[in-house]
Structure 1
Amino acid sequence: MTLVWRHLLRPLCLVTSAPRILEMRPFLSLGASWTSVTKLSLHTRPRMPPCDFTPERYQSLGYNRVLEIHKEHLSPVVTAYFQKPLLLHQGHMEWLFDAEGNRYLDFFSGIVTVSVGHCHPKVNAVAQKQLGRLWHTSTVFFHPPMHEYAEKLAALLPEPLKVIFLVNSGSEANELAMLMARAHSNNIDIISFRGAYHGCSPYTLGLTNVGTYKMELPGGTGCQPTMCPDVFRGPWGGSHCRDSPVQTIRKCSCAPDCCQAKDQYIEQFKDTLSTSVAKSIAGFFAEPIQGVNGVVQYPKGFLKEAFELVRARGGVCIADESKWRHERLWTVMCPSFHTFYFFPLEIAKSLAKRLQYFNTFGGNPMACAIGSAVLEVIKEENLQENSQEVGTYMLLKFAKLRDEFEIVGDVRGKGLMIGIEMVQDKMSRRPLPREEVNQIHEDCKHMGLLVGRGGIFSQTFRIAPSMCITKPEVDFATEVFRSALTQHMERRAK
C-alpha cells in the first residue's frame, strides 16, 4: 500500500491558528510560582498526581497583549473551549503548564496527535540533533531520515500495505486518497458516513458530514453520505452490538455471534448503493471509530461487510485512521488503504500514470527523524500494550460514572480513545444543552483536567490522552469528572 501520513507531532511543518479570545481578563500574576490547578479549583478537589518536572519561568507576552495580537492578526473563527482561553507555556509528557503557573493533565493530546507525550526526552534529543544537521529539503533530493522512517513504517503492517506517501495534514492525506481512488477506479462517486469528519479543505468538505463544517458554497463533488451505524443514537442497536467491554445501555435481542443492528445498517448501506451512486463507484471513506462526531463505534462486523459491498462495485476502501491507535483493528477490517499509513502498490501506480505527485514539505528531514524516534519510543516503552491495558481500565472506570449519573448517556471507545455522551436523561437520549456541557467542561479545567469535545451537538466529551498515561492519572481524571458531574447535579437541583 501507499501511505498518506500525517507526521507524528508535525513540528516545523504546520502553523495553526490560535483560538479567538472570548473574554479579556488579565493574569492574576505572571510572576507567580508554579502551582497545581487544584489550588484554584472548586469546592471538591481531587488530588492531582505528582509530576517531577519543573517548567521554565514564563517570560513572554502578557495575556492582554496576546489577546490584542490575536484579535488584530489571527483567525476570527471561534474555536476556544473555555470562557478564558488557556495560554499554554510548556509541556512535559502527559502534562501541560500555562503562563500563570498552573499544571494540567492533558487528556486530549493536541486534538489526538501527541502520541508519546509532550516533549519526550528521546524525541527532543533526536529533533535537536537533526536540527543541527539538515532542516529541510524537498523530496526531489534523497536524505536518510525519510528512507529510515519509511522502512520502519512499512515494517509495521502486512502486505500489501507497503508504499508510502508523506504529507502534511489529514486533509491533504484524504484529498490525495480521494484522487488516487478515482484514478485507480476510473469512477467518481465516493461514500462517507453522516457524522464523518475527513477534513476542512475544499475537496474533503464533500466527505465531511458534520453541519458545523458545512458551507453554503460548493464543496467537493461526487461525495454521497450514508447513515452512520450508531448503536447508541441511531435507530438500531443495543447491549450486544459493540466489540467492546462496555456496551450501550439500550437493550437488544442479538445473539453473541449475530448482530441484528448490523444487518439493519447494512441494508441502509445497500440502499445508498442502489439509489445515490452510480453502478460503479470510486470508493468508501470511513473512520474505524468516528472522532469528531464523539467517538462513535459501529456494530461488530459492519465495516468488513460494507467493504465487501464496495469492492463488488469496483471501489476501494479508505480507512481514515488519523486518530486511531489500536493495532488489532487491522485483523478485523483489512482496508484497501488508509490515510494514516499505506496504499497498495497498484493504486499508487494508477496515480503515477496520470500525475507526477510532488509535496514540498512531505518527507521533511526534521519530521521524519522525529517520526522514527516516536516509533522507537512506542516499541521501547511498550506503549501499545500500555494503551490497551490502561485504555480498558479507563473505559471501565468511566462506565461506572454512566451508572451513577442520569446525564451520562453513553461511554464508548477502544484503547485510549473514549467518548462520554451527555444527555438530558437516559430514556430520551436528548443531548444535554450546550451551555450545561460547557459548564461541566469548565469545571474539569478548573480542577486540572483538559478534555476534548465532539458530537453533532457538542454533547460528547472526547478523551484521548497520550500513550504514556498511567492508571493513577486515570483515577484522578475520573474523580475530576465525578466531582464536576456532582456539582452540575447540585446546580440543577437549585
Structure 2
Amino acid sequence: MNLHERHKAVMPDWLALYHDRPLEITHGEGRHVWDAEGNRYLDFFGGILTTMTAHALPEVTKAVSEQAGRIIHSSTLYLNRPMVELAERIAALSGIPDARVFFTTSGTEANDTALLLATAYRRSNQILAMRNSYHGRSFSTVSVTGNRAWTTSTLSALRTLYVHGAVRSRGPYAHLSDADFTAACVADLEDLIGQTGEVAALIAEPVQGVGGFTAPPDGLYAEFRRVLNRHGILWISDEVQTGWGRTGEHFWGWQAHAASGPPDVLTFAKGIGNGMSVGGVVARAEVMNCLNANSISTFGGSPVTMAAGLANLSYLLEHDLQGNARRVGGLLLERLRAVCAGIPLVREVRGRGLMIGVELAHPETGAAAPEAAAAVLDAARDRGLLIGKGGGHDTSVLRVAPPLTLTVAEAEEGAALLEQALRTVR
C-alpha cells in the first residue's frame, strides 16, 4: 500500500490534498523543495504562505535546535524568556498602543481568541464579517467565514452579518470607481448596523487569502473604521496571511487603510514561525485584559516556536524582506500580467508584493473555471513549479506566494513555468 492509500485509510475524507497524484515533500532548501521521488520544485506557495523566509533557513534551524537542546516545553504557567522577547518585538511593531500579545498555535486559534475577546468586551455575540472571507476551521471561525466552500457548519452561537467591500472586481459595485465603490460599501455597512442591535466587532482580512487574494481599494477599512468608532464596534484585522511585509508596500495589511489608525485587535500566524506552529493576537490592554476568568495556553508560546519566531523575525528585518517583496513581487506581478495578456482563460492578474492571484474564467461565458485551475496546478507541478489555488466557492484562482527571499531569476523562472502550464489548458 502506497502512502496515498495509507493516508486515505486513516485520514478524514474532507482533508484536502492537492493534485491527482499527491506529493510527498521530503526536504527543502531556499525556495526549492524535493519530493520522495527526487523531483525538485520551485516553491511558489510555501506551505500556504507559511515558509515565509526560506526552507531550511540556517538562522531558524539553529535557533530551534539550540532551544530544543535546553528545554522544549513548559506551558504559560511559568516565565518564558523567548515568549516575552518575541511579544515585546511584536507589540512594538503592531502599531497598537499599550499592546498586549497572546500566543497561539495557529491562525484559526488566533482568530478564535480575537472573537472571544471582542464578544466578551462588547457583551454581544453579533459579528460583522466580509463576504468571500476565510478565518479558520474551528467552530467559531467557520461561523464568520463568508466563503461558502469553507463554511462547514452554520450551527453557531455567533450571529454573523456579511458586508460588501472585499472583492473589488465582482459584485454589484464592481463597475464603480474606487471612490464610489468605497462610498457604496460604507453605506451598506451603515445600513447593516442600523438594522442590528449591539455589534461586537468587524473581522476582516486586508487581502483575502483563501478568497483568492482579493482586496478593496486602499482606505476602505479606514472609512469603515470611522463608522465602527461611532458605534463602539471593534475592528479585528486578520493578518494571518498579510502580515510581516508580504504585501511589500506595508508591514501589516491594515496599513493600507491607516488613516483612522491601527485596529483594536490584530491576529497573526503562518509566516512568523517559518513553518513552526506560531499564531497570536495583539490587542490594546483594555480589550486583551477584559476576560474575567482564568486562562492559560499549554502549547501557545512554546520556547522552541518562540525561538524560531525570534530568529525568523530578526532575519526578515535585517535583510529587508519587505523591500524584497515589493521589488521582486512587483517584477513578478508585471511579468505575469504580460504573459497572461494573451491567454483568454485568464480573467485577471491581481495582488501586491509576493501575494498574487491569477483568476481563471471561461472566455466565452465569463463563468469561473475551477476545473481549469486544477489542471493548471497539475501542469505547473509537472514542470517543477508548486502554486496554490483559492477563490470563492468556485476555487478558480491560482495563488502565487513564494518565500520573501525570492530572487529576480527565480521570479522570471516561475513566471515562465506558469505561462507554460497555462498554455496547456483550454
Normalised TM-score (structure 1): 0.78
Matched, 1:145 2:73: no
Match of 1:409 among 324, 343, 347: 347
Partner of 2:334: 396
Q: For the residues of structure 2 that align with 1:106 and 1:202, how far apart are their CA atoms?
A: 31
Structure 1 residues 80-229: aligned runs within 5 Å: 80-160=17-97, 162-215=99-152, 218-229=155-166
Partner of 1:321: 239
Matched, 1:265 2:185: yes
Matched, 1:444 2:380: yes
Number of aligned residue pairs: 403
Q: For the residues of structure 1 that align with 2:20 and 2:95, how far apart are their CA atoms?
A: 47
More helix as a share of residues:
2
Work out whether residues 161 and 342 of structure 1, in 8 Å CA contact, stay in contact via their aligned partners in 2. no
Deviation at 1:216, TM superposition (A): 5.3
Q: For the residues of structure 2 that align with 1:358 and 1:155, how far apart are their CA atoms?
A: 23
Deviation at 1:393, TM superposition (A): 1.2
- Which letter does structure 2 place at the counterpart of 1:99? A
Partner of 2:274: none
> For the structure 1 residues 86 and 159, does the alpha-carbon distance in structure 2 shift closer, same or farther, using more than 3 Å as the test?
closer
Matched, 1:359 2:277: no
- Identity among equivalent pairs (%): 31
Give SS of 2:372's match.
helix
Q: For the residues of structure 2 that align with 1:329 and 1:323, how far apart are their CA atoms?
A: 9
Partner of 1:299: 217
Give SS of 1:393's match.
helix
Matched, 1:378 2:316: yes
Q: Residue deviations 1:325-374, cap 9 Å, x none?
A: 341644433212211251001111212xx222211111100000110000
Match of 1:474 among 411, 420, 423: 411
Structure 1 residues 331-350: aligned runs within 5 Å: 331=255, 332-333=257-258, 334-340=262-268, 342-350=282-290
Work out whether residues 228 and 234 of structure 1, in 8 Å CA contact, stay in contact via their aligned partners in 2. no
Work out whether residues 142 and 153 of structure 2, in 8 Å CA contact, stay in contact via their aligned partners in 1. no
- Which letter does structure 1 place at the counterpart of 2:18? Y
Give SS of 2:99's match.
coil
Q: Residue deviations 1:82-124, cap 9 Å, x none?
A: 0100011101121110010100011111111111111101111
Deviation at 1:73, TM superposition (A): 2.0
Q: For the residues of structure 2 that align with 1:393 and 1:302, how far apart are their CA atoms?
A: 26
Structure 1 residues 22-41: aligned runs within 5 Å: none
> For the structure 1 residues 159 and 74, does the alpha-carbon distance in structure 2 shift closer, same or farther, using more than 3 Å as the test?
closer
- Which letter does structure 1 place at the counterpart of 2:12? S
Work out whether residues 205 and 220 of structure 1, in 8 Å CA contact, stay in contact via their aligned partners in 2. no
Match of 1:288 among 185, 188, 206: 206
Q: Structure 2, unaligned stretches of length 5 or more?
A: 269-280
Q: For the residues of structure 2 that align with 1:219 and 1:86, how far apart are their CA atoms?
A: 35
Q: For the residues of structure 1 that align with 2:88 and 2:239, how far apart are their CA atoms?
A: 19
Match of 1:274 among 184, 187, 194: 194
Work out whether residues 170 and 199 of structure 1, in 8 Å CA contact, stay in contact via their aligned partners in 2. yes
Work out whether residues 100 and 283 of structure 2, in 8 Å CA contact, stay in contact via their aligned partners in 1. yes
> For the structure 1 residues 420 and 149, does the alpha-carbon distance in structure 2 shift closer, same or farther, using more than 3 Å as the test?
same
Deviation at 1:214, TM superposition (A): 2.2
Q: For the residues of structure 2 that align with 1:436 and 1:223, how far apart are their CA atoms?
A: 33
Q: For the residues of structure 2 that align with 1:415 and 1:453, how far apart are their CA atoms?
A: 17
Give SS of 2:334's match.
helix
- Which letter does structure 1 place at the counterpart of 2:72? W
- Which letter does structure 2 place at the counterpart of 1:339? T
Give SS of 2:229's match.
helix
Q: For the residues of structure 2 that align with 1:282 and 1:327, how far apart are their CA atoms?
A: 26
Match of 1:453 among 389, 394, 409: 389
- Which letter does structure 1 place at the counterpart of 2:358? I
Give SS of 1:165's match.
strand
Partner of 2:271: none
Matched, 1:420 2:358: yes
Deviation at 1:174, TM superposition (A): 0.9
Q: Residue deviations 1:213-268, cap 9 Å, x none?
A: 22355134222222244221122235xxxxxxxxxxxxx6x4xxx61111122222
Q: For the residues of structure 1 that align with 2:100 and 2:77, how far apart are their CA atoms?
A: 17
Match of 2:2 among 58, 62, 65: 65
Q: For the residues of structure 1 that align with 2:140 and 2:313, how far apart are their CA atoms?
A: 31
Q: For the residues of structure 1 that align with 2:282 and 2:379, how far apart are their CA atoms?
A: 41
> For the structure 1 residues 68 and 437, does the alpha-carbon distance in structure 2 shift closer, same or farther, using more than 3 Å as the test?
closer
Work out whether residues 262 and 300 of structure 1, in 8 Å CA contact, stay in contact via their aligned partners in 2. no
Work out whether residues 318 and 338 of structure 1, in 8 Å CA contact, stay in contact via their aligned partners in 2. yes
- Which letter does structure 2 place at the counterpart of 1:261? F
- Which letter does structure 1 place at the counterpart of 2:373? V
Work out whether residues 207 and 220 of structure 1, in 8 Å CA contact, stay in contact via their aligned partners in 2. no
Quick check: which has more Rg, 1 or 2? 1
Q: For the residues of structure 2 that align with 1:155 and 1:310, how far apart are their CA atoms?
A: 25
Q: Residue deviations 1:32-88, cap 9 Å, x none?
A: xxxxxxxxxxxxxxxxxxxxxxxxxxxxxxxx4323431222222251110100011
Deviation at 1:448, TM superposition (A): 0.6
Work out whether residues 373 and 389 of structure 2, in 8 Å CA contact, stay in contact via their aligned partners in 1. no
- Which letter does structure 1 place at the counterpart of 2:336? F
